Homo-oligomer: A and B are copies of this chain.
Amino acid sequence: MSVGHIAVTTPAPAEPVISCETPQEECGVRDVLDRLGDKWSVYVVVELAAGVHRFRQLQRAVPGISQRMLTLTVRRLERDGLVKRTVYATVPAQVEYELTAMGHSMTHLIKALADWSIDHRGAIADARRSWDAEHEAP
């Protein structure tokens, strides 16, 4: 366990698991989860992991995203230092997006997430079905 701020997989006695200095600060975990939790960031990062993209190219690569949401998403990722944005002063305008080193380091995390999801999607779907079956309107 590299960092050890969180003790997991220990069905042991009940002790505080997060031992941040200030629990309210949430250890900065929230900062990451907010980015991962919004609807599009993960897909944009995954797409950019494949290489540099221009705006439209990125929008086409992420099916269903509106240009407003793409703008907001890449802005946030840029602000967090995960994505680098390069503007070329051409006509018409041209902008390229690529992951920073930190952005690339996060793709490992996303891959782990995706792997776990794929491995357990069936079990989760089954759990939901049986839960729904037991809790339907009487």
Stretch at the interface among A2-10, A66-74, A86-94: A2-10
Q: Using Cβ atoms and an 8 Å threshold, which residues of chain B touch A137? A: none
* Minimum CB–CB distance for A8 against chain B, Å: 4
- Chain A 111-133 against B: per-residue CB contact (8 Å), 1 yes, 0 no? 11111111111011111100110
- Chain A 97-121 against B: per-residue CB contact (8 Å), 1 yes, 0 no? 0110010111111111111111111
- In-complex Cβ contact of A81 among B51, B61, B113, B124 (8 A): B124
Contact status B116-A105, CB under 8 Å: yes
Contact status B116-A106, CB under 8 Å: yes
In the complex, A3 Cα to B29 Cα: how many Å? 26
Contact status B9-A49, CB under 8 Å: yes
* Minimum CB–CB distance for A118 against chain B, Å: 6
